[in-house]
Amino acid sequence: MLLANSVLVVHALFVTFVTGGLLLTVVGLLRGWRWVRNFWFRLVHLVAVIGVVVQTWLGVDCPLTTLEHNERIQAGQAGYPDGFIATWLHRAIFYDADPQVFTIAYSLFGLLVIATWIWGRPRRPRARFTIGSRQN
């Protein structure tokens, strides 16, 4: 059960990163925060969102959901996890809807993330070395 609850926490953190990353990027671009143009932050965020969108288009279950579910079954659990925090985390990130609703919602979310790349381009990382240079 500990592994299942740990997976649930990691899943909640991932969802927070994906959703909060877009929100912080938009707010940061509007407020002129320089850190929201960090290339690596934006790239990791974009890859995470694209992963969710592609997985949804392909009809593949989230590996974190599958792992948590399997661990709960092995622990003899069914339904919501025990404990206040685990139960509310579970309710916050899992809800019933037609699969097409998720596909549309995730696709629109992905388009918003791509739009922020166009609207507020991330700064490219600076090269530390130039080709042909020597470091002593």
Q: Give tens-digit pLDDT for 91-132.
A: 677 777 788 888 898 999 999 999 999 999 999 887 666 566
**What pLDDT sits at residue 130?**
58
At 8-26, the pLDDT tens digits run 889 889 999 999 999 999 9
- Residue boundaries of the structural domains of the chain: 2-119
**What is the per-residue pLDDT for 26?**
96
Residue 134 has pLDDT above 60, yes or no: no
Tell whether pTM > 0.85: no
Query: How far is it, in rounded angstroms, from Cα 19 to Cα 55?
Result: 17
Distances (CA, A) of 71 to 23, 24, 93, 101: 32, 33, 18, 27
The full length of the chain comes to 136
Cα dist from 103 to 64, 65, 87, 107, 113, whole Å? 18, 16, 25, 6, 15
- pLDDT per position as a tens digit, 30-87: 999 999 999 999 999 999 999 999 998 998 888 888 888 888 888 887 655 455 456 6
Give me 4's structure tokens.
Answer: 């299942």
